[in-house]
Amino acid sequence: MERTLAIIKPDAVERRLTGRILERIEAEGFQIRAMRMVRLTKKEAEGFYAVHRGRPFFESLTSFMSSGPAVVLALEAPDAIRRWRDLMGATNPAQAAEGTLRRTFATSIERNATHGSDAPETAAFELAYFFRGVELVEM
C-alpha cells in the first residue's frame, strides 16, 4: 500500500466540483485516509510549493492557492502516487488525456483543479505538511 497527498484546488472548490472529484476518487478504488478543508495563507502556500520557488509561475501559483478554500486528502492504494497522477492527467489540461480530472475540470495550467505528489519523498513531505500521523485513519 502507498499513500499520496491530493488537493482539490481553490478553482474546483469554488466551482462546486468537490463532490464530483471525490466520487471519482472513490470509484477508482482509493481509500480516503484523511480529508480536511483548508484556507492556506500565502506563506503556507509558499512553504508547500517551496521546490518551485524561483520559477516564473511561483508568485501567481501561491497567490492562487491561497485565494480560497481547498480540500486536502491522504489517499491510499497500491501504487497510489502514480495512479492518482494518471487519474489527474497532465499538468496542462490542454495536454491531459480524455476522461482525466484535469481534462474534464481544469481551465488552465494554473487553475488545474487538482494536485498530487510526484514521488515517494514528495508524498512524505506533503502528507506531513497537512496531516499528523494520528489523523490518518485506519480502516
* Per-residue binder mask for ligand CMP (CB under 6 A), 60-89, x = binder: -x----------------------------
CB contact at 8 A, 112 and 57: no
Measured from the CB of residue 139, what is the shortest distance to ligand CMP in angstroms?
Answer: 27
Q: Work out the number of other CB atoms within 10 angstroms of the CB of residue 18.
A: 16
Please confirm, yes or no, whether 115 is among the known catalytic residues: yes
Q: How far is it, in rounded angstroms, from Cα 5 to Cα 128?
A: 9
Q: How far is it, in rounded angstroms, from Cα 67 to Cα 11?
A: 9
DSSP state of 16: T
* Cα–chain center distance at 121: 16
Residue span binding ligand CMP (CB under 6 A) among the ranges 30-38, 73-81, 104-112, 123-131: 104-112
Measured from the CB of residue 116, what is the shortest distance to ligand CMP in angstroms?
Answer: 6
Task: Tell me if residue 111 falls in helix, strand or coil.
Answer: coil
- Selected binder of ligand CMP within 34, 75, 115, 123 (CB under 6 A): 115
Task: State the catalytic residue, choosing from 112, 115, 126, 131.
Answer: 115
Residue span binding ligand CMP (CB under 6 A) among the ranges 34-42, 66-74, 105-113, 121-129: 105-113
- Selected binder of ligand CMP within 112, 126, 127, 130 (CB under 6 A): 112
31-38 β-sheet, strand order = 31-38, 70-77, 2-8, 114-116
Question: Contact residues for ligand CMP (CB under 6 A)?
Answer: 52, 57, 61, 91, 109-110, 112, 115
Give the active site residues.
115
